[in-house]
Structure 1
Amino acid sequence: MIFLKPKYKNLFLVLMVSFSSWSFSQNDKAERKILKAVDKYSESAIELIKKSVNINSGTMNFEGVQEVGGLFKKELDKLGFETKLTNGEAYGRAGHLIAKRKGRKGPKFLLIGHLDTVFELGSPLQEYTMQNDSIMKGPGVADMKGGDVIIILAMQALNDAGLLDEMSIEIVMTGDEEKSGRPLELSKKDLIDAAKRSDIALGFENGDNNPKTIVVSRRGSTDWVLKVTGNPAHSSQIFTEDIGVGAIYETSRILNEFYLQLAKENDLTFNPGFIIGGTTLKPDEDGTGGHAIGKTNVVSQETIVRGDLRAVSLNQLTKAKEIMKKIVSENYPKTKAELTFSSGGYPPLSLSEGNTKLLGYYNTVSEDLGFGAVTAVNPRNAGAADISFTSEYVEMAIDGLGLTGGGGDHTINESGNLNTVATQAKITAVLMYRLVNSKL
């Protein structure tokens, strides 16, 4: 259910009437100015993408994240935004870039990007290369420095068209989207506070790398740890009343039941990404590795499994957790199991009436500008992202407005189609212009 702020309680109705009666025309001077300005600044925007991609800003390279933030901050300063780079020491990260403008009318916008990438200083992918005249391969080109630059390009176009002063806009480019700082209450505070002040959130991730789709729903993500113990003994005693089945058999039972009972649930996934088991375990402190000691003739004493759980709504997430806990409690003989879920994690961006309507408005603009129809991304094809933290607070939200048309996200083959930079900026800027100039 969407709870509208009093000032905008008729937002859906007014915008629906406005958009249904708005037919794009070459005689609309403001929109022609926007399109012309995007074309004017597109070449410099692509150069900005290249420059930012060549700055390593892996999440844990704090200096690099701050450098990219400073690069984008300069561009927003030129447009009259009040900007700052925050300090992320309290949550173990580099901090965020925040930019604000107060306008005279219309809904309050929150535009979301992030400065960090998955490509740390040790990655083999450190600089961009052009695969042809339009496809750029590089660290973070799609996820999501291209999207950050699209935000800037759209702002430049609105400014050139004389429209930016009308708008209330907050831009938050986080420094820890790929590896969130802890606690989340601190690392996401600036983003959540901005969402509380906003009516409409636009995210500039790259969605499913298809410019014909937009994200209206994202699955949330949380981590889980399964620890199982059994009675160690000579293997000849397994299945006896005193010894039971051992930790590894119990672990296999649990994982198999997870699959049997939950695998057919739409849009739900639960992935055991790491497992060790044996007589004694030595897991690494960061939870990404470890050692197990055991022999084929010894019944296993311990196992540890780490995984994640992704759900499309809070109700689905709660239900899945309950089923998983029940499965874990029904132990094989002489074994014990404990399942814990992380206290943090990304909430889902639940499908809502507001998000669906905003997609409709975006689609209208895209078709009016000659770029064709845009449909919703299947949430199975959209991972967790920062926009999910706005779901509880804004009336409308969509994501996937960033640089698209490539692939290989989070790998050394990450790429994006530079031809989509201008297209996405044009749709974004015209959409914001139309939303502001509806009679709210």
Structure 2
Amino acid sequence: MSDPADRDSDGLVARALAAAQRRHAEMLPLLERWVRQNSFSDAIANVNAMGALLHEGFALDGLSVERIPGEGVGDHLVWRTPAWDRAPDARQMLIGHHDTVFPPGTFEVWEPKGDILRGPGVLDMKGGLVVIRTALAALADVGALTALPLAVVSVGDEEIGSRHSSAFVQGLARGAKAALVFEAGRADDVIITQRKGTGRVTVHATGKAAHAGNHHAEGVNAIWALARFVDRVQRLTDYDAGLTVNVGLIEGGSTANTVPAQASCTIDFRYLSAEAGQVAVHGFEAAAAEIGADTGAGIEVVGGIRRLPLQRTEASLALYRAYAAAARGAGLGDGECPLIGGGSDANTVSAVGVPAIDGLGPRGRGFHTHDEYIEISSLALRVEALVRYLLADAEA
């Protein structure tokens, strides 16, 4: 495949890449400001302070901004170009999030060492937001941004399942041509085309309290009932079918000499298809009914499917190939990532039929840990890949 610049008689791609190179020096100072602003999902004021920094950073010619107030979560931001309204059939979305998993005071470093930059959110995913911003700034510099039918979305609740933002993101996405998600870049720059669906349920067991010595037979042990439930639902895991069930939290009881009246657990489950997700939910409900009837405890299942799978389709494969060509042109790897177990907002937009790819942020490792880092050099490469992709797609 020829380089897009070779087909561009006006040299627009070359000029945009030169503009991006001039913007390189802005990236680390901008990223430092964003990383030093704590934005733990549950610290809503912090998430909104981070949103204010994004509002400032994305103040570019050709972008209008809208703030979507969060309900019990941080606010969300949407930027649109004028062409978004003029060319609905060619719309594309660039998606990120500005919340992180680190509570205030738990991981607050900015530690560059050579090509490695360690810090909270550098990979997941403030680095990806810097990539989007720098690429769009370069396109604005050469007058190309306004003609591209783009919407940029950054949500404030992705790390807690996009429980509030998913409805408006899906509403914005319906009918779009493509969505590119700038979550953490993987080793060898592989591009994500598949993610499992995710779900979560909380299970409450209600028994009957009694003195463990004098009136044991009169009690109904909620912990025992829940233990039987846990054993039953863990057995729903089927690795060959891609279904995993994990009881990750459990609590109950009050004292050792009291038959416990209350117990609860929280379950995370992952699956390959919407049908498999429903199979898991029905399995939880059936186990609750049967074990409740056998033990006399009431067992209530609350929750269910959170994100449907990001499934690999012909349309998403075409999107992958188009972006991969731009990645190769920038000197990045272009391979396809194996199935990913974790969900993202790529799942969110895929659920309404929008082709989506993911993992387009800077290369790094350790997200959700205190070892989170990026390779600094990959920032500029990801910017170049996005510029190349957007301009090549505009010409296609």
Check whether TM > 0.5.
yes
Superposed counterparts of 1:63-82, under 5 Å: 63-82=45-64
> How many residues are aligned here?
388
| Structure 2 match to 1:213 | 190
Find the residue that maps to 1:338 and give its secondary structure: strand
| Structure 2 match to 1:195 | 173
Instruction: Determine which of 156, 160, 163 is the counterpart of 1:175.
Output: 156
Find the residue that maps to 1:78 and give its secondary structure: coil
Instruction: Determine which of 32, 35, 40 is the counterpart of 2:17.
Output: 35
Structure 1 residue 343: Cα displacement: 6.1
Find the residue that maps to 1:261 and give its secondary structure: coil
Structure 2's unaligned 5+ residue stretches are: none
| Structure 1 match to 2:387 | 429
Task: Assess if the C-alpha contact under 8 Å between 2:329 and 2:385 holds in 1.
Answer: no
2:187 equivalent to 1:204: no
Q: Deviations over 1:187-212 (max 9, x none)?
A: 434322221252211111115x3252
Instruction: Determine which of 126, 134, 137 is the counterpart of 1:145.
Output: 126
Structure 1's unaligned 5+ residue stretches are: 1-21, 279-291
| Structure 2 match to 1:364 | 325
**Which range moved further: 100-109 or 418-427?**
100-109
| Structure 2 match to 1:276 | 251
Q: Deviations over 1:366-410 (max 9, x none)?
A: 234432332124222xx2222322113343111111122232x22
Partners of 2:236 and 2:126 lie apart in 1 by 40
How has the CA–CA distance of structure 1 residues 95 and 230 changed in structure 2, closer, same or farther, with 3 Å as cutoff? closer
How has the CA–CA distance of structure 1 residues 259 and 158 changed in structure 2, closer, same or farther, with 3 Å as cutoff? same
Partners of 2:38 and 2:220 lie apart in 1 by 50
2:367 equivalent to 1:386: no
Structure 1 residue 222: Cα displacement: 2.6
Partners of 1:80 and 1:277 lie apart in 2 by 56
Superposed counterparts of 1:113-152, under 5 Å: 113-121=96-104, 123-130=105-112, 132-152=113-133
| Structure 2 match to 1:404 | 363
| Structure 1 match to 2:204 | 227
Q: Deviations over 1:246-288 (max 9, x none)?
A: 443433332222233324354322221211233xxxxxxxxxx
Task: Assess if the C-alpha contact under 8 Å between 1:312 and 1:379 holds in 2.
Answer: no
Partners of 2:328 and 2:90 lie apart in 1 by 23
| Structure 1 match to 2:38 | 56
| Structure 2 match to 1:10 | none
Task: Assess if the C-alpha contact under 8 Å between 2:131 and 2:382 holds in 1.
Answer: yes
| Structure 2 match to 1:111 | 94
| Structure 2 match to 1:316 | 276
| Structure 1 match to 2:67 | 85
Structure 1 residue 425: Cα displacement: 1.4
Q: Deviations over 1:145-198 (max 9, x none)?
A: 11111101111232334432321111111122223576x3xx434322221252
How has the CA–CA distance of structure 1 residues 390 and 26 changed in structure 2, closer, same or farther, with 3 Å as cutoff? closer
Task: Assess if the C-alpha contact under 8 Å between 2:308 and 2:351 holds in 1.
Answer: no
Find the residue that maps to 1:354 and give its secondary structure: helix
**Which range moved further: 101-110 or 317-326?**
101-110
Task: Assess if the C-alpha contact under 8 Å between 2:51 and 2:75 holds in 1.
Answer: no
Q: Deviations over 1:106-154 (max 9, x none)?
A: 7211111112212232x33223111x12211112111111111110111
Task: Assess if the C-alpha contact under 8 Å between 1:200 and 1:394 holds in 2.
Answer: no
Partners of 1:343 and 1:62 lie apart in 2 by 25
Structure 1 residue 78: Cα displacement: 2.4
Q: What letter is aligned with 1:169?
A: L
**Which range moved further: 152-161 or 398-407?**
152-161
Task: Assess if the C-alpha contact under 8 Å between 1:100 and 1:169 holds in 2.
Answer: yes
Superposed counterparts of 1:147-166, under 5 Å: 147-166=128-147
Partners of 1:39 and 1:56 lie apart in 2 by 29
Between the two proteins, what is the percent identity of the paired residues? 26
With the length of structure 2 as denominator, give the TM-score of the two structures: 0.87
Superposed counterparts of 1:6-17, under 5 Å: none
How has the CA–CA distance of structure 1 residues 266 and 40 changed in structure 2, closer, same or farther, with 3 Å as cutoff? farther
Task: Assess if the C-alpha contact under 8 Å between 2:236 and 2:280 holds in 1.
Answer: no
Q: What letter is aligned with 1:24?
A: D
| Structure 1 match to 2:372 | 414
Structure 1 residue 235: Cα displacement: 7.0
Task: Assess if the C-alpha contact under 8 Å between 1:69 and 1:85 holds in 2.
Answer: no
Partners of 2:81 and 2:5 lie apart in 1 by 29
How has the CA–CA distance of structure 1 residues 244 and 326 changed in structure 2, closer, same or farther, with 3 Å as cutoff? farther
Partners of 1:419 and 1:68 lie apart in 2 by 24
**Which range moved further: 326-335 or 215-224?**
326-335
How has the CA–CA distance of structure 1 residues 247 and 124 changed in structure 2, closer, same or farther, with 3 Å as cutoff? closer
Find the residue that maps to 1:151 and give its secondary structure: helix
Task: Assess if the C-alpha contact under 8 Å between 1:229 and 1:247 holds in 2.
Answer: yes
Structure 1 residue 73: Cα displacement: 2.2
Partners of 2:354 and 2:265 lie apart in 1 by 39
Find the residue that maps to 1:274 and give its secondary structure: strand
**Which range moved further: 167-176 or 347-356?**
347-356
How has the CA–CA distance of structure 1 residues 334 and 259 changed in structure 2, closer, same or farther, with 3 Å as cutoff? closer
Find the residue that maps to 1:376 and give its secondary structure: coil
Superposed counterparts of 1:337-348, under 5 Å: 337-342=298-303, 345-348=306-309
2:236 equivalent to 1:255: no
